[in-house]
């Protein structure tokens, strides 16, 4: 599990929007995986199994929070972006895209993260999220359209 932890943590960060909550979610995921190790089938993809656990735990946390407090998600502006390199044009553009990804609805944001950041195939992302592959494709198309439109608006200044 150790080699997968950085990817798992990054996935948790994109879901939660905060480093402290990402730490908690990643740790809860590892604990749940240890508790439910009998549910893992050797020879299958451990990363998919862990991401599925993390996603379900996060959805449960969102539901519980909504019931308890009616609270919402943290704005991406409040999160720390781990890239500390010099701000080149590419870096600036990447930050703009990252910011726009953070503004996507939860379902689209998680799908974008799994496919474009973590490199899962559409089918693998569908398995992790427990949704049809067509839903993955439509979420990605909607996300691309929204991000492209917002970046175009930024470019033209409208």
Rounded to two decimals, what is the model's pTM?
A: 0.55
What's the CA gap between 130 and 75, in Å, rounded? Answer: 26
Closest CA to 127 of 45, 61, 57: 45
Please give the chain's pLDDT, 158 residues, in tens: 578 888 888 888 888 888 898 899 899 998 888 888 777 777 778 888 888 888 888 888 877 776 566 444 444 444 444 444 444 555 555 666 667 777 888 889 889 888 888 888 999 899 888 999 999 999 999 988 988 887 777 666 65
Do 123 and 133 form a contact (C-beta atoms < 8 A)?
yes
CATH class for the region spanning 1-75: mainly alpha
Distance CA 11, CA 100 (A): 16
Q: What are the boundaries of each domain within the chain?
A: 1-75, 84-158
Work out the angle at residue 8's Cα, subtended by the Cα atoms of residues 75 and 65, and round it to the nearest 5 degrees.
45
Query: pLDDT, tens digit, for every residue of 68-80?
Result: 664 444 444 444 4
Non-local CB neighbours of 158 within 8 Å, separated by 6+ positions: none
Q: For 99-119, write each residue's pLDDT tens digit.
A: 777 788 888 988 988 888 888
Q: 84-158, what's its fold?
A: Arc Repressor Mutant, subunit A (1.10.10)
């Amino acid at each position: 599990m150790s080699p997968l932890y950085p990817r798992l943590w990054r996935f948790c960060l994109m879901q939660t929007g905060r480093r402290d909550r990402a730490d908690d979610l990643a740790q809860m995921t590892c604990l749940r995986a240890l508790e439910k190790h009998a549910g893992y089938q050797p020879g299958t993809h451990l990363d998919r199994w862990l991401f599925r656990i993390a996603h379900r735990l996060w959805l449960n946390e969102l539901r519980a929070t909504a019931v308890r407090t009616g609270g919402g998600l943290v704005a991406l502006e409040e999160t720390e972006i781990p890239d500390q390199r010099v701000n080149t044009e590419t870096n600036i553009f990447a930050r703009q895209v990252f910011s726009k990804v953070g503004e996507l609805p939860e379902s689209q944001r998680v799908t974008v993260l799994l496919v474009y950041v973590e490199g899962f195939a559409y089918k693998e992302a569908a398995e992790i999220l427990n949704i049809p592959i067509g839903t993955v494709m439509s979420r990605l198309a909607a996300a691309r359209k929204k991000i492209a439109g917002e970046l175009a608006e930024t470019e033209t200044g409208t």
